[in-house]
Amino acid sequence: MPTAFIGLGSNLRDRWETLQAAIRRLRAEPGLRVTATSPIFETNPVGCPPGSGDYLNAALAVETDRPPEELLAFLHRVEARFGRERSTTNAPRTLDLDLLLYDDVVLATPELTLPHSRLHERAFVLLPLAEIAPRAVHPVLSRTIQELRTAIDATDVRIATVPPRGHGLLRDLRALVTGSTSGIGAAIAAAFQDEGATVITHGRSERTGERHLVADLSVPAAVDRLAEEAWRMFGGLDVVVLNAGADTLTGEAARWSFDEKLDALLAVDLKATMGLARNLGDRMKQRGRGSILTIGWDQAETGMEGDSGQLFAAVKAAVMAFCRSLALSLAPEVRVNCIAPGWIRTAWGETASDYWQERVRLETPLGIWGLPEDVAAAAVWLSSPAAAFITGQTFRVNGGAVR
């Protein structure tokens, strides 16, 4: 797919959160894949009305299935959703999304000029762009972005200060998140840490970090060992998120037979989840408090055709049913809930074919992919004191798909 570069800017409201939310929105768009994101820079307003606030700016590289005109129209729709009002030139704005480059396309129409007509003049564009594409070539000037950046005065552009994250919703809680080296698990672990929790991560291989446990959850003895090590590390746990699952969609496993995939899913997604939940849930109940989250699948309740649909529906439906029964067994001391994600853009979704991109558009009322951060936000709330009256429930994080 063609590669495009997009400039982002904001100088109204919560500028940092606006840019972060805009990046998440672009990451969620089917048929558009964000491949690089620059740091965020702060700069004085250039050519703006008196009293205009300083800007935050960033740049993205994306692969897209849209031609330039359609991509620009999409960017304008996103701007509008963030409250962008087009009035006078260079007026303050909640969000500015500029199409800077689109491969080596040179274009001049009333609606769109490529490359962006002032790209080479603006330090607040060139600095973030040079961070992600220093060797990209301006197709009119025949100079690299790094050469253009070096030739311009950038004294007024500075790296923005990162604001504090989170609101302390999980302050002082101790949590285990299984399968947390990538994807949804990594997003949950990061969100928990941002909200003040101390987190034990888990995966099948070693990684740096004081609180990382290694266990192959397809091995029953490893399940028991992980429960013991995690509990002993802190002398108890307040939250357990059982996210680990067998990947049967990518890599060598994608070529396994139906029965091989079923065995893997039963071992990791179901049996390991049940084993850890029962072991750690009993300990939490004896201590008098705790919260457990499992991961289901929204289409386990509605069905999906094909081998993958049959496999995941059977296994994840079992997880969801187990969660309801475990909640009754562990109440009132321990809350047990399940998150059922829909179309979440994990590693498989990043490279899914055009067919699946269009299917996401059609099957999700919001018309976009969910992101691991969306699941993490639900996990934070369900694990926090704010959800103290919630147990035995399955929460769909799926953009409204209710087929």
User: From CA 140, how far away is CA 132, in angstroms rounded?
Assistant: 20
Q: Please confirm, yes or no, whether 98 is among the known catalytic residues.
A: yes
Name the helix (H) or strand (E) containing 123.
helix 123-132
Instruction: Dump the DSSP string for 26-38.
Output: HHTSTTEEEEEEP
Among candidate residues 93, 122, 149, 174, the one labeled active-site is 93
Name the helix (H) or strand (E) containing 293.
strand 290-295
Among candidate residues 27, 66, 98, 238, the one labeled active-site is 98
Residue 299 DSSP label: G
How many other CB atoms are there within 10 angstroms of residue 24's CB atom?
14
Among candidate residues 13, 24, 25, 84, the one labeled active-site is 84
Question: Residue 118 corresponds to which amino acid?
Answer: R
User: From CA 178, how far away is CA 171, in angstroms rounded?
Assistant: 20
Residue 370 DSSP label: B
Q: Measure Cα distances from 373 to 34, 61, 193, 205, 382 in Å.
A: 15, 20, 13, 23, 14
- The C-alpha angle with vertex 186 and arms to 288 and 230, in degrees rounded to 5, equals 35
Q: Please confirm, yes or no, whether 194 is among the known catalytic residues.
A: no
User: From CA 169, how far away is CA 129, in angstroms rounded?
Assistant: 36
Q: Measure Cα distances from 337 to 12, 334, 349, 399 in Å.
A: 39, 10, 25, 19
Among candidate residues 27, 33, 66, 96, the one labeled active-site is 96
Q: Measure Cα distances from 195 to 167, 170, 199, 381 in Å.
A: 6, 5, 11, 10
Q: Please confirm, yes or no, whether 216 is among the known catalytic residues.
A: no
Q: Please confirm, yes or no, whether 374 is among the known catalytic residues.
A: no
Strand locations in 65-111, DSSP E?
96-102, 107-108
User: From CA 388, how far away is CA 291, in angstroms rounded?
Assistant: 9
CB neighbour class for 341 (10 Å; exposed up to 12, middle 13-18, buried from 19): buried
The set of catalytic residues is: 84, 93, 96, 98
